[in-house]
Amino acid sequence: MRSGSEQELGVLEQRLEAVRERSFVGREEELGVFTDALRGSRSVLYVHGPGGVGKTALLRRFAQQAAALGRQVTTLDGRTLDPTPAAFEAEAAPVLAGERAVLVIDTFERVQGLEGWLRERFLPGLPLGALVVVAGRVPPDVMWTADPGWSEALRVLPLRDLAPADAAALLEARGVADELRGPLLAFAGGHPLALSLGAAVATKDSRASARWSPSQDVVATLLYQLVGEVPSPTHRHALEVCAHAYMTTEDLLREILPEDASSLFTWLRRLPFVESSPRGLFPHDVVREVLEADLRWRDPQGYAAMHERISNYLAAQTRAVPDAFVLGAVGSLFYLHRAVGSTSEFNSWRGDGEAYEDAFRPGETEALVRMAAEVENEASATAVAYWTARQPEAFRLYRRAETGELVGLCSWLRLYEPSEEEAALDPIVATAWANARALAPLRPGEHLAVGRTWVRPEYRGMSPVMDLVQWRSIGYCLRADRMAWSFMAMRSDDPMRDYLRHYDMHDVGEHAWLGDAEYALYAHDWRAAPAQAWLDRLNRLLLGDPQDVQAIPGPALAVLSQAEFGDAVRKALRHLSRPGELAASPLTRCRIVTDDSEPDPASALRRILEQAVDTVRRDPRADKLHRALAMTFLRGAPTQEVAAERLGLPFTTYRRHLASGIERVCEDLWHREIYGAAKG
């Protein structure tokens, strides 16, 4: 007969089991496999998955199911087991004596060294009707599958997150209010431990709202449970890089941790919560989120430095990779900003496998024209027919991977000068030219680009197709050479309009009409805010308040016409010895100065002007011009008359040499401003 305390323990145990019973959701497939194994289909089940994914809860349900059928169940836990064959056999003795016995081994990673012995010595000696379930974080080694003898006796069960419906059911079972379920699911996905911890905290916090986020206590607990101890701070940093980047390759690690990249990549690859894909390694979603949250809280400067190095690496990749790899590079770059503003609302990062980009082929013109008419109107279809004949390279097609069906297309037209024919057939192009002329006209050698998108309604908004369309657009803008303006034509009912404003692309004025549809042209002047400045602005948004979706102004470059530029050079030469005047020059906001490494714009401008004067001397035929420039601007002649006297020249001759020299300097600096290099 039980004592009072034993009876109380029994009642408590029953109560605990009842609560666990109510909280257990999903896992129908795994339970079905176990039921079949009890009937003799398998002798060994090997369950593996990352920490907190629900292995222990599943094994507890297995044990209950076996006991209900009258099977004798023995449960071992690797955390309390002496990792020796003798100790293991002693603990598992009941299963050796019973043909219907069930042995359940939890936390097997703690005694992983016994795996070979278990496979080769212990398991072959079990009675024929016995069943063994092994569960741990580490998958079984390849020797199981290499041995044909185990092919029919063993079933491997990778345990994943709960399905969305099961995750929601778990929160309901834990008593989570409706308004809290969205943020909890957004944070934890289908990870049972993260859901349970978040639910326990959120249900007790009277201030919890639809903007709930995990507390540092929740983050710390999850880090300990999911990641545990790591070998060194360098290994922790590699793990943080893996959490921040979309995919981690050895090349990326080498950029951040050059001395240990190979060994660290191998270590990451073996972690139970890190998976491999054709593009690299990536961690479990919850591990990614808790590592990110912990580093941002614990070491914000370290987080910013890591982000900047990864961002610079991926930006360089975006500019340098062949066209076929642009989408992957841009997608990885944008993933760094997944927590900023509305980025997560319009990027799914699911393009791989569900949709793909295809090149345009002339024989497909009819299909493109038909799609443009279906998703927009006949006027739009006319524009597609016109441009596919004249700029076929501007078009990209998007297809469903499963069927190859055409579901979208985009174009990026490259335009150098306005054309009456183009304007008549495509009002969007005509309006782009009108806006560019009104705001900041093109300069010699520059072009403007016009982007258009046609996507079937079911793929608009956040979808794998729109991921690829966006990444192609950003890739074009970041890689284009000598592009002055980009214009993206957007219908008035397109939900992405606010999204484009967030990324410094704005409705700049005059709208266009195609048929009965109105289009705003969202523009960016890439001379005033070049690619790197645009990326720097995104970084400031990320590293500031991630909830702040307002535009953060950056230093805009001056976009001067050639006449305005020449006037500014002449004025700066006259004020070469006056730092205050030079600091106020519009040239300090031009490329020739902003691309310079000198932190003080006025000092940089003075040095650039002095170098330009010195460059004139390299032409033996221009020696007289150089002497006039040097005497006037570098040697401090108080007046032009004094300069002419010191040079021993008639004043009119001196003025002619000086004017020609200034024109040479203006031409040289203009060439550098436009083309980024000195004139040869």
Is the pLDDT assigned to residue 680 strictly greater than 60?
Answer: no
Instruction: Report d(CA 533, CA 524) in Å as an integer.
Output: 12
- Are 107 and 177 part of one and the same domain? no
- Are 480 and 571 part of one and the same domain? no
Look at 18 and 663; give whichever has higher pLDDT. Answer: 663
Considering only 10-19, 142-151, 596-605, 619-628, which range has the smallest mean pLDDT? 10-19
Q: Mind listing the pLDDT tens digit for each residue in 265-274?
A: 999 998 888 8
| 309: nearest Cα among 220, 404, 244, 215 | 244
Give percent above pLDDT 90 in the chain. 31
Residue 138 belongs to some domain of the structure: yes
Question: pTM of the predicted model, to two decimals?
Answer: 0.70
Residue 452 belongs to some domain of the structure: yes
CB 263 within 8 A of CB 348: no
- Are 153 and 174 part of one and the same domain? no
Please give the distance of CA 256 from its chain centroid, rounded to a whole number: 17
Report the pLDDT value the prediction gives residue 4, as an integer from 0 to 100.
Answer: 46
Residue 199 belongs to some domain of the structure: yes
- Tell me the H-state helices in 39-127: 55-68, 85-91, 93-97, 115-117
**CA dihedral over 48, 54, 60, 66, signed as positive or negative:** negative
Residue 4 belongs to some domain of the structure: no
Residue 233 belongs to some domain of the structure: yes
Report the pLDDT value the prediction gives residue 1, as an integer from 0 to 100.
Answer: 41
**CA dihedral over 65, 66, 67, 68, signed as positive or negative:** positive
Considering only 345-354, 417-426, 542-551, which range has the smallest mean pLDDT? 542-551
**What's the whole-number mean pLDDT along residues 138-150?**
85
CATH number of domain containing 451: 3.40.630.30
Considering only 17-21, 123-127, 184-188, 670-674, which range has the smallest mean pLDDT? 17-21
Q: Which residues of 572-582 are buried (b: 16+ CB within 10 A; e: fewer)?
A: bbebbeeeeeb
- Are 82 and 68 part of one and the same domain? yes
Is the pLDDT assigned to residue 508 strictly greater than 90?
Answer: no
- Mean pLDDT (the chain, rounded): 84
Report the pLDDT value the prediction gives residue 674, as an integer from 0 to 100.
Answer: 73
| 568: nearest Cα among 616, 611, 608, 526 | 608
Report the pLDDT value the prediction gives residue 27, as an integer from 0 to 100.
Answer: 86
Which DSSP string do the residues of 484-532 spell out, in sequence order? EEEEEEEETT-TTHHHHHHTT-EE-S--EEETTEEEEEEEEETTTS-HH
Q: Mind listing the pLDDT tens digit for each residue in 283-302?
A: 888 888 888 888 988 899 99
Give percent above pLDDT 70 in the chain. 90
Q: Mind listing the pLDDT tens digit for each residue in 376-405?
A: 999 999 999 999 999 999 999 999 888 899
Considering only 240-254, 430-444, 470-484, 554-568, which range has the smallest mean pLDDT? 554-568
Look at 302 and 497; give whichever has higher pLDDT. Answer: 302
- Are 114 and 229 part of one and the same domain? no
- Are 81 and 176 part of one and the same domain? no
Q: Which domain holds residue 108?
A: 10-158
Residue 274 belongs to some domain of the structure: yes
Q: Mind listing the pLDDT tens digit for each residue in 619-659?
A: 888 889 989 888 888 887 888 898 888 889 999 999 999 99
Q: What would you measure as the largest C-alpha separation in the chain, in angstroms?
A: 127
Specify the DSSP class assigned to residue 245. Answer: S
Residue 220 belongs to some domain of the structure: no
Work out the pLDDT band at 248, boundaries 50, 70, 90: very high
Residues in the chain: 680
Residues 6+ apart with CB under 8 A from 263: none
Report the pLDDT value the prediction gives residue 146, as an integer from 0 to 100.
Answer: 82
- Are 103 and 138 part of one and the same domain? yes
Count: domains in the chain:
5
- Are 145 and 207 part of one and the same domain? no
Paired strand residues for 77? 106
Look at 25 and 249; give whichever has higher pLDDT. Answer: 249
Is the pLDDT assigned to residue 348 strictly greater than 80?
Answer: no
Residue 432 belongs to some domain of the structure: yes
Instruction: Report d(CA 251, CA 344) in Å as an integer.
Output: 26
Indicate the SS3 state at residue 70.
coil
**CB 241: neighbour CB atoms within 10 A?**
21
- Are 15 and 108 part of one and the same domain? yes
Report the pLDDT value the prediction gives residue 2, as an integer from 0 to 100.
Answer: 44
Report the pLDDT value the prediction gives residue 426, as an integer from 0 to 100.
Answer: 93
- Are 528 and 578 part of one and the same domain? no
- Tell me the H-state helices in 205-299: 216-226, 233-244, 250-256, 261-270, 285-298
Look at 202 and 387; give whichever has higher pLDDT. Answer: 387
CATH number of domain containing 85: 3.40.50.300
- Are 327 and 358 part of one and the same domain? no
- Are 238 and 173 part of one and the same domain? no
